[in-house]
Amino acid sequence: MTHSISVLYIYAADLWSVQQTSAHQLTSYCLSFAVSTHEPTMSTYISELEVSLNADEERDLRRTGFNIIDGNLNAGVGGNAIRLWYKYGSVPITKVQVSFNNEMADGLIKAAYKKIYKDLNAGAGGCDLYLWYSQGSGEFDTPIVEISVTTDAANEGEKFASGWERVACDLNRE
């Protein structure tokens, strides 16, 4: 049985983590975010994230101005086709995390993260996983201005070399 690992990548100086590994053959599924190396205009910040679990939600998000990230976060493990969406605005997202238990969620709530109430494991039979983001404007808060997804493990080196960073969590966690 092939076990797909979906991993979030962040191109932001404040979110670095190590690669996930598995005893199974891996299909690496990575989501990447980028920060600006120049002074972007206010509307070039990623300011909202959302998740869709079905075609109806995809239509609603598209209608409200969200942009889809290519790729299914549940690829290779069955379940719903999970898609990530983003919207540009003036208040930047600066941090992204994933929770898979109540203790993690409690910490993210205390840190004023916003939860996206869509299970990233919907229909796949794994534990409940939720995406969270924070919008900051402090000295160490780097605005996210670009998002990318890759399913190619060989592409990870290129991502790292280009300054992209990873949010570590197997998004197909059992």
Instruction: Establish if 16 belongs to a structural domain.
Output: yes
Instruction: Establish if 163 belongs to a structural domain.
Output: yes
| 49 alpha-carbon distance from chain centroid | 8
Burial of residue 89 (CB within 10 Å: 0-12, 13-18, 19+) is: middle
Closest-CA residue to 104 (of 94, 95, 113)? 113
Question: What is the reported pLDDT for 28?
Answer: 37
Q: Which residues contact 89 (CB under 8 A, 6 or more apart)?
A: 42, 43, 45, 47, 48
Do residues 160 and 21 lie in contact, with contact meaning Cβ atoms separated by under 8 Å? no
- Amino acid code (one letter) for 103: E
Q: What is the CATH number of the domain that holds 159?
A: 2.100.10
Domain hosting residue 23, numbered range: 3-167
Instruction: Establish if 38 belongs to a structural domain.
Output: yes
Number of residues assigned to the chain? 174
Instruction: Establish if 135 belongs to a structural domain.
Output: yes
Instruction: Establish if 13 belongs to a structural domain.
Output: yes
Question: What is the reported pLDDT for 60?
Answer: 98
Query: How many structural domains compose the chain?
Result: 1
- The pTM (predicted TM-score) of the whole model is 0.75
Instruction: Establish if 39 belongs to a structural domain.
Output: yes
Closest-CA residue to 162 (of 14, 33, 28, 21)? 33
Instruction: Establish if 174 belongs to a structural domain.
Output: no
Instruction: Establish if 37 belongs to a structural domain.
Output: yes
Mean pLDDT per block of 10 residues along the chain (174 residues) reads: 41 31 35 49 80 96 94 76 90 88 93 94 82 86 76 72 70 62
